[in-house]
Structures are given as structure tokens and as C-alpha cells.
């Protein structure tokens, strides 16, 4: 079969690789119909920290082609969405839908390590499928189902963990796909205003269409503009959706005294220069999370079905799997108004 493989820094191409096999009696094989490139894929794309040869992708939907004998809720022919994050499948957190805190240290995202091949491929193996795959619910479009595999849950958790109160001011730092999801989810909590910080004009315009007040960080630091817009106080709730050292520090600087900063941007640095004096003297609550995808589905699926989250137009570009190299280059460049790219492995 064909799969997108990381060849090295800023180099991805389609390879012929062995077909997946059942990962155990509790697993399934999924023929992938739609998959996507995520911002966190770019961490691998930029510097390949875990080495070349990884089969990429953790956002995928498709049809069950084969199921192990102990799979109870799925059968061949079922169309499913696959959690981007999985765990051991047997510990208490995994069974509760929170593989991010797997007690056996097995939390991982598809397509980020060599022994868990990803979904930017014609097929993928899904362990413990009863926990980590979900039949695509009625009334959920394919594009919405893809978003439920990772970035919509991540944005939702960013908002949920930001302690947003009705009437409060919220700041979203970073308006990529996760930031746009977080912005929409923040609206569910009834804030008085949402300030949206980014440097890409098309993304700022999208945030404004969604009811946020755009802040163009090209003209001045985002935190300085947030403070000016709030009379020097800052925002009670801040969601950081980039993961860069500078954007995390900027998010902390945006927060009002007693506020909460919720970090969902991926940052794996062991040397991040946190301004602890700022955190301490402003009595900030700081939270970060590696998203537990399945645990969010009971909340998010009804919201998507009811049209409360307008996420269907998140995909700005659609390409075949054979165009994956071009797709990564485009997504990385932020050119041509790109926000999210949908790939089709099996037309």
C-alpha cells in the first residue's frame, strides 16, 4: 500500500510499504478514506527529532476492513473515526477515554513514532478499537469526523480548561486550525469578548467572521495590544494554541491577575524560559494538556450534530495522497490562505 513517510527535515514523500496487520485480537484494520495534516506534524517535518522513516498522520477516518475476534462494537464495513491519541487500552484512564494519562506510559499519537504507523496512508492498524475508534455518528459529515480525531477535541479542551466565565474576556493566541477550534469552543461558555492574536491576515479575517476581535501581532506584540484593548488589565482566560516558546510567554503576559492560561500548543522543550515572577505575582493558573481525544466525544458529537460548532469549512485545500509533499510545503508556508488540508488516500 501507499503511505506518507518522513524522509528527513522538510522532506515527505509517498512510499510503498507493507500492508498493516491486525495489532491484536482487540484491533482493527481501517481503509483510510480521509486524513489530514496537523500543525503538530510540522514538528516532525521541521527537524525529524525521532528520525526518518516514520509513517505520518494522526487524523483519519475510513472503513473497517478487518476486525479482531475480541472487538465488540465494530465490524467490517463500519465507517469510523480514529482517535489520534491512544494508550495501553487496559488501564483505568484508557478505559475512561483518557489515554493521554495512560498508567502504563503507553500514551502516543499515531504517526509520531516508528512503531505506531499513521493514517496518511491507504490503511492503518488501530489497537483496542472499541476504545480508540468510533462509528461516525449520524449527522456528522466526513470533514467534521476528521476534525473529531484530534484538533476539535484539542481546541475544546483548551477552552474547557481556561476557566471561561460568562461575560469574561478571552484571548486566543494562534489562529491555526486548533486556535480556530478553541475560539469557537470558547464561545460556548458565553464570554463577553474574544480577542484573537495571529500574524496571518486570512486567519485574522476568519476569526473576525467568527465574532472575535482580531489582533495583528505583526504590528506590535500581541500581549501589548491585548493590554491596550483591556485598559491594562489583561484577559481572565487565555488559550495558547501555537506551542512556540515566544507565544507561550506572550500568552502569560496577556493574562489578568488571577487569570488562567490554558496551553494546548505542542511544546516539547525542556528549557522553556517561563517568566515565573509574572506567574507568581499575578497569581496565574497555568494548565497544559496532551489531549485525551475519546473522552471529549460525548460532549462534542452532540454539539457538531446540532450545528453549534461551525467547523465544516475548516478545510481550505483538498489533495490526493500522491500530492503529500506539495501539501506539506503549502501547509508549512501558510500561503494561499491555507488553514487545513484534507488528503484522500483512496479516491
The long-range contacts involving 318-321, CB below 8 angstroms and separated by at least 24 positions, are 318/342, 318/343, 318/344, 319/343, 319/344, 320/344, 320/345, 320/347, 321/2, 321/4, 321/14, 321/35, 321/120, 321/121, 321/122, 321/345
Residue 16 has pLDDT above 80, yes or no: yes
Question: What does the pLDDT read at residue 270?
Answer: 85
% pLDDT > 70, the chain: 99
Residue 99's φ and ψ, nearest 5 degrees, are -65, -15
Residue 223 has pLDDT above 90, yes or no: yes
Question: What does the pLDDT read at residue 49?
Answer: 61
Question: What does the pLDDT read at residue 332?
Answer: 96
Question: What does the pLDDT read at residue 47?
Answer: 80
Tell me the chain's radius of gyration from C-alpha atoms. Answer: 20
> Do the beta carbons of residue 186 and residue 194 sit within 8 Å?
yes
Listed in sequence order, the DSSP H helices in 148-263 are 151-160, 177-187, 201-209, 222-229, 245-254
Q: Which domains occur in the chain, in start order?
A: 2-150+292-344 (3.90.180.10), 153-288 (3.40.50.720)
Say how far apart CA 168 and CA 188 lie, in whole Å.
Answer: 12
Please write the tens of the pLDDT for every residue from 123-174: 999 999 999 999 999 999 999 999 999 999 999 999 999 999 999 999 999 9
Question: What does the pLDDT read at residue 152?
Answer: 98
Residue 206 has pLDDT above 80, yes or no: yes
Residue 85 has pLDDT above 90, yes or no: yes
213-216 β-sheet, strand order? 213-216, 193-198, 169-173, 235-240, 255-263, 285-288
Say how far apart CA 192 and CA 125 lie, in whole Å.
Answer: 45
Question: What does the pLDDT read at residue 268?
Answer: 83
Mean pLDDT score, 68-95 = 98
Residue 347 has pLDDT above 80, yes or no: no
Residue 48 has pLDDT above 80, yes or no: no
What global pTM score does this model have?
0.95
Please write the tens of the pLDDT for every residue from 310-341: 898 999 999 999 999 999 999 999 999 999 99
Say how far apart CA 288 and CA 240 lie, in whole Å.
Answer: 9
Say how far apart CA 178 and CA 166 lie, in whole Å.
Answer: 22
**Residue 281, C-alpha cell as written in the block:** 505575582
Among 136, 141, 9, residue whose Cα is nearest residue 63: 136
SS3 state at 286: strand
Question: What does the pLDDT read at residue 10?
Answer: 92
Q: How confident is the model at residue 51 (pLDDT cuts 50, 70, 90)?
A: low
**Residue 105, C-alpha cell as written in the block:** 506510559
Mean pLDDT score, 201-227 = 97
Lowest mean pLDDT among 171-175, 210-214, 259-263, 287-291: 287-291
Mean pLDDT score, 258-283 = 92
Question: What does the pLDDT read at residue 277?
Answer: 93
| Averaged confidence pLDDT in the chain | 96
Question: What does the pLDDT read at residue 104?
Answer: 97
Q: Where are the beta strands (DSSP E) in the chain?
A: 2-8, 11-16, 28-36, 60-67, 79-82, 85-86, 108-109, 123-126, 133-135, 169-173, 193-198, 213-216, 235-240, 255-263, 285-288, 317-320, 341-344
Amino acid at each position: 500500500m501507499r503511505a506518507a513517510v518522513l524522509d528527513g527535515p522538510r522532506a515527505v514523500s509517498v512510499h510503498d510499504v507493507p500492508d498493516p496487520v491486525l495489532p491484536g485480537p482487540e484491533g482493527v484494520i481501517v481503509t483510510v478514506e480521509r486524513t489530514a495534516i496537523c500543525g503538530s506534524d510540522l514538528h516532525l517535518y521541521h527537524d525529524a527529532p525521532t528520525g526518518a522513516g516514520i509513517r505520518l498522520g494522526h487524523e483519519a477516518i475510513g472503513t473497517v476492513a478487518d476486525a479482531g475476534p475480541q472487538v465488540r462494537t465494530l465490524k467490517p464495513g463500519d465507517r469510523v473515526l480514529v482517535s489520534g491519541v491512544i494508550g495501553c487500552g487496559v488501564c483505568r484512564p484508557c478505559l475512561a477515554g483518557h489515554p493521554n494519562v495512560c498508567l502504563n506510559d503507553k500514551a502516543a499519537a499515531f504517526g509520531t513514532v516508528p512503531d505506531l504507523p499513521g493514517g496518511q496512508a491507504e490503511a492503518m492498524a488501530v489497537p483496542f478499537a472499541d476504545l480508540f475508534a468510533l462509528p461516525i455518528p449520524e449527522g456528522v459529515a466526513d470533514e467534521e469526523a476528521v476534525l473529531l480525531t484530534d484538533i476539535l477535541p484539542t481546541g475544546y479542551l483548551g477552552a474547557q480548561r481556561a476557566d471561561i466565565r460568562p461575560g469574561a474576556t478571552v484571548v486566543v493566541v494562534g489562529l491555526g486550525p486548533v486556535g480556530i477550534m478553541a475560539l469557537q469552543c470558547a464561545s460556548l461558555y458565553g464570554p463577553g469578548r474574544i480577542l484573537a492574536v495571529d500574524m496571518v491576515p486570512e486567519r485574522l479575517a476568519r476569526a473576525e467572521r467568527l465574532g472575535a476581535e482580531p489582533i495583528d501581532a505583526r504590528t506590535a506584540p500581541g500581549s501589548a495590544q491585548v493590554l491596550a484593548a483591556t485598559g491594562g488589565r489583561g484577559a481572565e482566560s487565555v488559550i495558547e494554541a501555537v506551542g512556540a516558546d515566544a507565544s507561550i510567554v506572550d500568552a502569560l503576559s496577556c493574562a489578568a491577575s488571577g487569570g488562567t492560561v490554558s496551553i494546548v500548543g505542542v511544546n516539547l522543550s525542556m528549557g522553556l524560559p517561563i517568566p515565573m515572577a509574572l506567574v507568581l505575582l499575578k497569581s496565574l493558573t497555568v494548565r497544559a494538556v496532551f489531549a485525551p481525544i475519546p473522552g471529549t466525544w460525548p460532549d462534542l458529537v452532540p454539539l457538531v450534530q446540532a450545528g453549534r460548532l461551525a467547523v465544516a469549512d475548516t478545510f481550505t485545500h483538498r489533495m490526493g495522497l500522491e500530492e503529500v509533499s506539495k501539501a506539506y510545503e503549502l501547509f508549512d508556508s501558510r500561503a494561499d490562505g491555507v488553514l487545513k488540508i484534507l488528503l484522500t488516500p483512496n479516491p
